[in-house]
Amino acid sequence: MRKFIGMLTAVAALGLATAASAETTLRVSNWLPPSHPIVKDILTPWGEQVAKATDGRVTVEIMAAPIGKPPAQFDLIRSGAADIGFGVHGYTPGRFKLTPLVEGPFLSDSAEALSVAYWKVQEAMLSKADEHEGVKLLTVFTHGPGGIYTTTKKVASVDDLAGLKMRIGGGIVAEIASRLGMVGVQAPSPQVYEILANGVADGILFPPESVPFFRIDEVIRNGVSVPGGLYNTSFFVVMNRGAWDKLSDEDKAAIDSVSGEAMARMAGQAWDAADAAGVKVMEEKGVAQTTADEAMTAAIAEKLAGVEKGFLDAASAAGIDGQAAIDMLKAEIAAAK
């Protein structure tokens, strides 16, 4: 009997040791090429940080093939089709009503400053609306300041934008383009080269990084940056709630330590570096790049006055002081300088 009990004890101990040493692999749904900054410079190093922070108990695997289109990513992760995913809030219009906080003009020339400020406001105020219900929100961030790029027409004033057919993404940028007299053309990023080369669109609103990445530096000849950015795009990184709940408290704390503000900062830094590289490539390709002068900037500001109203109304409906959120965002951005 003693021998039998001893065997049971040994088996139990072995089981505990095996459970303690077992690894958890978190699969990341990915719909971008592996060379894109989000994959190469944000998700990949974050995965390495997760492995290090958890002493190898948790590893991150970025999937080679997409499991769904970009607008479906949030729901795919919530349903458990993959453990982690990322996406653009604006790809599902009307669903995330508070993201226009960071999508408007003149906020920051730095994706790092804006992304960190965004996360802080998200944690302090926007989380009350629970717009990411059903998942674990790992972080939010923005790309770099969006600019104006055209194939042939040079843009030196707001009047030059009237009637231009411009490819636009999701979020508040559609309203910004409309207010400035542009005609929005909807197309996925991978199709941008084709629609510009074929004259379907006269240009695009993009951050500098995306111009060479999607090879449109081969077809656009002019670029205009706006101080503080004409617009920004809001991104999320989320984790399936069931996958999160299965982790130990120790591993949850470890992942939190490299997510949130830390991941937002890394994402912003990566995008700032990619934007700088994009500007350099465009210089080498002969793309004429200018900065909107005071007159053009003032005219843009006049046309876009009150563009934050949609956010303020949505915040009010959610019981959030929208103006206080705007003030906090700008204060955090200023503090980062």
pLDDT in tens, 78-116: 999 999 999 999 989 889 999 999 999 999 999 999 999
From residue 326, alpha-carbon distances to 57, 139, 260, 309, 329 in Å are 40, 19, 20, 11, 5
Q: How confident is the model at residue 22 (pLDDT cuts 50, 70, 90)?
A: low
Judge if pTM exceeds 0.85: yes
Q: Supply 267's token pair.
A: 């994402």
Q: How confident is the model at residue 39 (pLDDT cuts 50, 70, 90)?
A: very high
pLDDT at 12: 39
Average pLDDT, the chain: 92
Whether the CA torsion 290, 296, 298, 301 is positive or negative: it is negative
pLDDT at 187: 81
Q: Answer whether 104's CB lies under 8 Å from 330's CB.
A: no
Rounded distance between C-alpha atoms, residue 280 and residue 270, angstroms: 16
Instruction: Classify residue 2 by burial, with Cβ atoms within 10 Å: 0-12, 13-18, 19+.
Output: exposed
Rounded distance between C-alpha atoms, residue 99 and residue 203, angstroms: 25
List the single range of 20-34, 222-236, 261-275 with lowest mean pLDDT: 20-34
pLDDT at 100: 96
| Maximum pairwise Cα distance, the chain | 93
pLDDT at 189: 78
- With 70 as the cut, is the pLDDT of residue 30 above it? yes
pLDDT at 16: 37
| pLDDT tens per residue across span 122-144 | 999 999 999 999 999 999 999 99
Rounded distance between C-alpha atoms, residue 252 and residue 254, angstroms: 5
Distance from chain centroid for Cα 120? 15
Neighbours of 55 (CB within 10 A): 10
- With 60 as the cut, is the pLDDT of residue 14 above it? no
Rounded distance between C-alpha atoms, residue 181 and residue 114, angstroms: 27
- With 60 as the cut, is the pLDDT of residue 17 above it? no
| pLDDT tens per residue across span 270-289 | 999 999 999 999 999 999 99
- With 90 as the cut, is the pLDDT of residue 202 above it? yes
pLDDT at 126: 98
| pLDDT tens per residue across span 135-177 | 999 999 999 999 999 999 999 999 999 999 999 877 789 999 9
- With 80 as the cut, is the pLDDT of residue 40 above it? yes
Helix axes 260-284, 111-124, angle to 10 degrees: 150
| pLDDT tens per residue across span 287-318 | 999 999 999 999 999 999 999 999 999 999 99
